[in-house]
Amino acid sequence: MPGTDHVATHCPYCSLQCGIRLVSDPVDLTPDDFPTNRGGLCAKGWTAAELLGHPGRLLTPLVRTDRLRPASWTEALDRITAAIQASQRRYGPDSVGCFGGGGLTNEKAYLLGKFARVALRTSAVDYNGRFCMSSAAVAANRAFGMDRGLPFPLADIAETSALMLVGANPLATMPPAARYLDAGKANGATHIVIDPRTTATAARADLHLQPAVGTDLALANGILHVAIREGYADDGYITERTTGFDAVRASVAGYWPDRVERITGVPEHRIKQAVRTLGEAGSAMIITARGAEQHGNGTDTTQAFINLALALGLPGRPMSGYGTMTGQGNGQGGREHGQKADQLPGYRRLADPADRAHVASVWGVDPAELPGPGLSAFEMLDRLGTEGGVRVLLVFGSNPVVSAPDRDRVLNRLRTLDFLVVSDIFLSETAVEADVVLPTTQWAEEDGTLTTVEGRVVRRRRAVTPPLGVRDDLAMLTELAGRLGRGRFFDADPRRVFDELRRASAGGIADYNGISYERIDREQGVFWPCPSNDHPGTPRLFTERFATPDGRARFVPVEQRDPAEAPDRDYPCVLTTGRTMQQYQSGTQTRRTPTLAAAVPEPCAELHPDLARRYGVADGDLVELRSRRGRGVFRAVVTDGVRPDTVFAPFHWGGSSSANALTNPVLDPLSRMPAFKSCAVSITRVGGATDPLPAVAEPAGNTDLEDPC
């Protein structure tokens, strides 16, 4: 940044994208007064610079002979090119696949989707955001015709009179956002939290509803039932701005509060209290997150809360509405620009001839050359190495060995691949399995854009020179495209990639056409849609009309279904998984950050005192959780902050403490989201408070490289 001794950039982690000022020599960071964080940072942001210069950083490509060994870029890229060409010659274009990530910049996500379709000509591309945002996205598209996490700026949360958070714990996952909650409380707002755990956010709520895991949909329908019965439905809004209400009214008629209490465990009087809080508030917001969404019926559960918001007349009203809290750093932009299996940039659809024609014209290719839609993330992983499945996989910005459900199944599939390529900054649990590992740049070493939870496009700015031997993903993809004879379609310069993304998105739902790097600098980010240079951007959506063909939001009737896996004699408890304040996603970065690792050195499982007593477990003991798919060992935390029928474990660790070794890969039929939040487990005490946890390492790591994780 000219004239200053610091560079203004953003935290590498979650979708709040807190502003950071970074000094490079010596490296130091301070929080910026950016609209999303207003000078606040959480522990992850404060310690982000500890990864710059980390001794475990990958600084050279690695290739596998019998083991992974250092190699030149030429050798690494030669091997990848040869593997791609041999596989496609023998098995066809779809035998090579790409797996992306919700932390990649918009430019990388865009170029990865283009690389798959134009350089590889494969339909096999998807990303880990399928594990994160897909249910909310499908529900929002169904109801509003558009999916943007928050359709209003974060600051509006401070101005609403009533806030209902469903399966969201922003005090732990994005603490600087708490200022907006606190300001709302100071303004007299009432906060309701729906969560099976008494999280930090739930503990500060005025009303905490604690439903059994997997019953949120019944609770939402029950709240709507009471709201209609007590006259809180906004008839004028329903008539003018929506369609389909009669079917929803009929569908919730059977959700009597006493029946809903039996299904969810939430007392009837508390359901009525929630209804009156929302119904009598001058403005109100309902915000969901992964707790409601990561289920085999996550789309319908999200839809039930959208139905509630619509019936109360909230979406599009001042300081009101429905939203979802995106998780990953670019969870919003990462799902807009083409790394999803069925999608082209700007939320265009790969199956739509007009969308294909537009994007093909920007890319300079024949639309007929573009492949069709492919399989979703878990489906692609589950068919690796099989007849018709992917045989050569390129992974960018993702660690599916830790983040995908049913870890052992995914690991086994990865090991059947003919060739695995992983681009990462550390030797992650997935990189350990690779045939070639490519060392990539990290946040402070690269330029690009990300899109925040509120739909604000922000700049990531390079503040530090990358180490010698490291290349950014744009350069890798462009180089590989060149080796595959498609280099003329690619450019590694982030600004030029973004300008092409703008053109590709023009006229689409997520229209970035009017957003330039210069505007982002001047305006502290720009909200999409922004179709032209003179358009102000769109901080608040749906104020006049929804993005559906008739401009009206759509009610969709939805019914409670039991979770795919219910507790039984062999697996009598419910496991739900989630995040901790000090860790981020698969932990590739945060488990290697010394300050964070010292703060939470071990993965802990939370058990209610009644449950702990039943299994003879004391606080600090080691417990083995076992499901039909696998097992993991955790340090027990005995707390009455979790339901007596439920155990909670964080998913950030791999190896012998992998929560995802247990989780159920059953998929939501619409979003293809796995049911991370609910599976049946048994509990066994396997050690005391002084016994060490088994080393957290993958069961069959196959490298002898030192990784000082």
Task: Tell me: does residue 18 bind ligand SF4 (CB under 6 A).
Answer: yes
CB atoms within 10 A of CB 323: 27
Q: Which is nearer to ligand SF4, 13 or 180 (CB)?
A: 13
Exactly one of 29, 32, 37, 376 binds ligand SF4 (CB under 6 A); which one? 37
Q: Which is nearer to ligand SF4, 41 or 341 (CB)?
A: 41
Which range touches ligand SF4 (CB under 6 A), out of 36-44, 240-248, 276-284, 589-597? 36-44
Residue 404 identity (one-letter amino acid) = A
Which range touches ligand SF4 (CB under 6 A), out of 55-63, 172-180, 223-231, 336-344? 172-180
Q: Report the distance separating Cα 122 and Cα 235, nearest Å.
A: 49
Q: How far is the CB of 12 from ligand SF4 (least distance, A)?
A: 7
Task: Tell me: does residue 648 bind ligand SF4 (CB under 6 A).
Answer: no
Exactly one of 8, 22, 29, 41 binds ligand SF4 (CB under 6 A); which one? 41
Exactly one of 8, 9, 13, 402 binds ligand SF4 (CB under 6 A); which one? 13
Which range touches ligand SF4 (CB under 6 A), out of 168-176, 216-224, 614-622, 674-682? 168-176
Query: Of 140, 142, 489, whose CA–CA distance to 323 is shortest?
Result: 140
Q: Please, which residues have CB within 8 angstroms of residue 548's CB and are 6 or more apart in sequence?
A: 144, 145, 554
Please give the structure tokens belonging to residue 403: 């983040």
Task: Tell me: does residue 296 bind ligand SF4 (CB under 6 A).
Answer: no
Task: Tell me: does residue 205 bind ligand SF4 (CB under 6 A).
Answer: no
Exactly one of 84, 133, 174, 605 binds ligand SF4 (CB under 6 A); which one? 174
- Nearest-Å Rg of the Cα atoms of the chain is 24
The answer to whether 575 touches 681, Cβ cutoff 8 Å, is yes
Exactly one of 17, 343, 399, 560 binds ligand SF4 (CB under 6 A); which one? 17
Task: Tell me: does residue 176 bind ligand SF4 (CB under 6 A).
Answer: yes
Task: Tell me: does residue 51 bind ligand SF4 (CB under 6 A).
Answer: no
Local structure of residue 353 (DSSP, 8 states): H
Q: Which is nearer to ligand SF4, 40 or 494 (CB)?
A: 40
> What pairing do the DSSP bridges indicate for beta strands 436-439 and 419-424?
parallel
3-state secondary structure 95-142: HEEEEECCCCCHHHHHHHHHHHHHHHCCCCEEEHHHHCCHHHHHHHHH
Q: Which is nearer to ligand SF4, 16 or 431 (CB)?
A: 16
Q: Which is nearer to ligand SF4, 450 or 574 (CB)?
A: 450
Which range touches ligand SF4 (CB under 6 A), out of 40-48, 207-215, 553-561, 570-578? 40-48
The answer to whether 317 touches 283, Cβ cutoff 8 Å, is yes
Q: How far is the CB of 464 from ligand SF4 (least distance, A)?
A: 17
Q: How far is the CB of 444 from ligand SF4 (least distance, A)?
A: 13
Task: Tell me: does residue 44 bind ligand SF4 (CB under 6 A).
Answer: yes
**DSSP structure string for 14-42:** STT--EEEEEETTEEEEE---TTTTT---
Please give the structure tokens belonging to residue 98: 């790409």
Task: Tell me: does residue 432 bind ligand SF4 (CB under 6 A).
Answer: no
3-state secondary structure 279-348: HHCCCEEEEECHHHHCCCCHHHHHHHHHHHHHHCCCCCCCCCEEEECCCCCCCCHHHCCCCCCCEEHHHE
Which residues ranging from 562 to 591 are in contact with ligand SF4 (CB under 6 A)?
Answer: none
Q: How far is the CB of 584 from ligand SF4 (least distance, A)?
A: 6
Name beta bridge partners: 527: 456
How many residues of this chain interact with ligand SF4, rule: CB under 6 A? 14
For residues 346 to 385, the per-residue mask of contacts with ligand SF4, x marking binding by CB under 6 A and - elsewhere, is ----------------------------------------
Q: Please, which residues have CB within 8 angstroms of residue 323's CB and are 6 or more apart in sequence?
A: 149, 150, 151, 152, 285, 286, 287, 288
Q: Which is nearer to ligand SF4, 18 or 192 (CB)?
A: 18
Which range touches ligand SF4 (CB under 6 A), out of 174-182, 203-211, 368-376, 460-468? 174-182
The SS3 assignment for 664 reads strand
Query: What is the edge-to-edge ordering of all strands in the sheet holding 19-24?
Result: 7-10, 19-24, 27-31
Q: Which is nearer to ligand SF4, 48 or 370 (CB)?
A: 48
Q: How far is the CB of 36 from ligand SF4 (least distance, A)?
A: 7
Exactly one of 14, 77, 384, 553 binds ligand SF4 (CB under 6 A); which one? 14
HSE (side-chain half, CA atoms, 13 Å) at 632: 35
Exactly one of 8, 22, 29, 42 binds ligand SF4 (CB under 6 A); which one? 42
Which residue ranges make up the site for ligand SF4 (CB under 6 A)? 11, 13-14, 16-18, 37, 41-42, 44-45, 174-176
